[in-house]
Amino acid sequence: MAEIFSDDKVKSFFQDYFSTWTDAQTALMMMHTFVIIDEGYYKQHGVRLKNEDVCAIVRKAMTDRNCRPVLVEAMKEFVQEGNQKFFNTFQRLLEPAIEMKSIHF
């Protein structure tokens, strides 16, 4: 852990995105979303997307009027529930939206 936190990129990221609690929540939501997309794609296709492609999808999800509320609600439940996994909450909230075809990637 010390090796990660001493990295200059991590320090810079922390200083830029964790200056307030709101910023920290947004950064955590982006990080969780990145991992969900990266892992989900890998599980389905057996290969990883390029980091730039995952970031583009995260950016799309964060700005999509239908997807962002799902991410925000998952993050709220994650913060309030404590023991709730962000991925589980996100998946539970996202599946009905995908079925209704209100979220497109």
Residue 48: the pLDDT is 92
State mean pLDDT over 36-57: 88
* Helix H or strand E encompassing 29: helix 21-45
Q: Which residue, among 85, 87, 4, 86, has the nearest Cα to 43 in the 3D structure?
A: 87
Write the pLDDT tens digit of every residue in 4-30. Answer: 989 999 999 999 989 998 898 889 888
